[in-house]
Structure 1
C-alpha cells in the first residue's frame, strides 16, 4: 500500500486527429482536474491507418506548456534514440520553464521500428537500445546541472518499461516515477524486483512513484493496484475524437480515495 495520494493521468495519443481537436481535449482534461497530461513520442500512428494524421511530441509539449496552467505535462514516453541526450535535457529544461515547473521527463529505450526506418535512426537490438538509455541518463543529469538558467526544479524522471534485468535497474538508479504495464500479478512481481534493485543500489524504493495504465473500471482494479503500491493511473484516449468518459470515472474514484 502506498502513502502517496492517488493521481490520474491522461495520455492524449496524437494520432488520427487534427491539432484543434487535440487542443480541445487538453483543455477539457485540465478543466476536469487531471493531474498529468501525457502524449507519446512517435512519428506515425500505432493503430488504425498507418499513414494517418500524427504530430511530433516535444513541439506539442511546448504548446501544452503555454495552453495549460495546473496539470503536469510530459511524454509517455520520449524515445531515447531520437535526440542527443544533451539536446533532450535542454529541451526538457526549456519546456520546464515555459510550463513554470510542470514538466515530467518521461523516457524509454524505444521500440517502434517504423519510426526508426522512416526517420533514419539505427534500430539495432532491444539490448543495444537499453544500453544506449543507460548511457544517456547520466548525460541528461549532467547537462541539467550545467544549463543556464537551471531547471525550475529537479525535473521528475519517469522511466517506462518492464524489463526486469536492465530497465528496472535503471529505474532504481535514475527514476522518480516508474511506469509499467500488465495485470496485478505482473505489477506485483515487477514491484518486488524493483525493490530488490533499489536495495542493490542503496535507494529507498518509497522514493519512486509507481505508475500503470488505467484499464478497466476503477472500482474493480484500482484497490488491488493501490495495495501493490501503484498511485498513478493513466487513462488513454485516441483521435479522431477524444472520449474522456473513462477519465471522468477515474477522477471520481481518485477523489473518493483521496478524501
Structure 2
C-alpha cells in the first residue's frame, strides 16, 4: 500500500463519453469540449448496444470513433474503457492500436478487458463462453498483442500504455501485475485497500515494481469527499461518465476544478 500512497503522479481526469442515445455530431462535440476544458483523457466503450436507457437506442462502434477522435483532437489522450478482447484477433487489436497511436501522434491508451455484455456476443455472433474462459483468452492474447507491437512497421510511436479494467483477485489482478500501466477499478475505499494488497502480492510474484501501475477509479455517484478518500489510498486517474442524448458538461467542469485544486 505504501507504494501507492506515495505516488507523486499528478491527478488526471478522464471523461468517458458513452456512444449512445446521441447522433455522432453530439459525440464529436462532447470530445471537443472535453479537450478544450482541459480533461486529460477521453474514453468511450466497446459495446454494440446501449448499456442504459432504451436498449435499441442510438449507438456507435468504439474503434472507429477512436480513430476519428485521434484526427479531431490535438492534446488529449484517447482510448477505450475498455476494449473487449474477445471480439477481435489479438494481432489485429495490436495493429489497430498502433495505427491510432500514429494518427494521434502518440496519445492512444490501450484500455482492455475480457468482456461481459452477453447481448453483444449473441447479436454479433461471438461465443460468449464463461467469465473464466474470457479471462483466460485475455491472458493468452496480451502477450501476443505486446509481441506484435515489436514487429509492426512502422513501430508504435511510444510504449503504448495498457489499461486493464476489472477487479477479479485471482486472474484479473494477476494480469494487471504482469501487463498493465493503469489499473481501472470501481471499488470503494475499503475494497480498494484490500485489492491493492492482493495486487502487490501478484506484482511481487511476477517481479514487477507495483509503483509503476497508475490507479484509476470512477466518480459516478460520488462526491468530492469520497474522491479525496480514494486519492489517499493512491488513486490518481479519475473517470467521469457522460451519456447522450445531452452530455453533462457541467459535471466535467466540476471535476476538472477538483483536479486543479489538488494539483495546484
**TM-score bracket relative to the smaller structure:** over 0.9
Alignment of 1:185 onto 2:190: yes
Query: 1:11·1:237 contact (CA, 8 Å) conserved in 2?
Result: yes
In the alignment, the residues of structure 1 paired with residue 68 and residue 239 of structure 2 have an alpha-carbon distance, to the nearest angstrom, of 21
Counterpart secondary structure, 1:12: strand
- What is the match of residue 112 of structure 1? 117
Taking only aligned residues, the RMSD between alpha carbons, in angstroms, comes to 0.8
- What is the match of residue 92 of structure 1? 97
Alignment of 1:56 onto 2:61: yes
Q: Give 1:217 shift.
A: 5.2
**TM-score if structure 1 supplies the norm length?**
0.98
In the alignment, the residues of structure 1 paired with residue 92 and residue 204 of structure 2 have an alpha-carbon distance, to the nearest angstrom, of 32
User: Of 146, 154, 159, which residue of structure 2 is paired with 1:154?
Assistant: 159
Alignment of 1:46 onto 2:51: yes
- What is the match of residue 123 of structure 1? 128
Superposition pairs of residues 158-177 of structure 1, within 5 angstroms: 158-177=163-182
In the alignment, the residues of structure 2 paired with residue 248 and residue 216 of structure 1 have an alpha-carbon distance, to the nearest angstrom, of 16
Q: Give 1:218 shift.
A: 4.8
Query: 1:80·1:109 contact (CA, 8 Å) conserved in 2?
Result: yes
Counterpart secondary structure, 1:45: coil
**TM-score if structure 2 supplies the norm length?**
0.97
Q: How many residues align?
A: 259
Give the unaligned 5+ runs of structure 2. Answer: none
- What is the match of residue 205 of structure 2? 200
In the alignment, the residues of structure 2 paired with residue 196 and residue 246 of structure 1 have an alpha-carbon distance, to the nearest angstrom, of 36
In the alignment, the residues of structure 2 paired with residue 108 and residue 181 of structure 1 have an alpha-carbon distance, to the nearest angstrom, of 14
Superimposed CA distance per residue, residues 169-202 of structure 1 (whole angstroms, 9 cap, x where no aligned partner)? 0000000000001211111111111111111111
Alignment of 1:23 onto 2:10: no
Counterpart secondary structure, 2:109: strand
Q: Give 1:219 shift.
A: 2.6
Query: 1:218·1:253 contact (CA, 8 Å) conserved in 2?
Result: no
Alignment of 1:256 onto 2:261: yes
- What is the match of residue 80 of structure 1? 85
In the alignment, the residues of structure 1 paired with residue 67 and residue 102 of structure 2 have an alpha-carbon distance, to the nearest angstrom, of 10
Counterpart secondary structure, 2:183: strand
Q: Give 1:249 shift.
A: 1.2
Counterpart secondary structure, 2:15: strand
Counterpart secondary structure, 1:158: strand
User: Of 130, 139, 142, which residue of structure 2 is paired with 1:137?
Assistant: 142
Q: Give 1:60 shift.
A: 0.5
Superimposed CA distance per residue, residues 69-88 of structure 1 (whole angstroms, 9 cap, x where no aligned partner)? 00100000000011100000
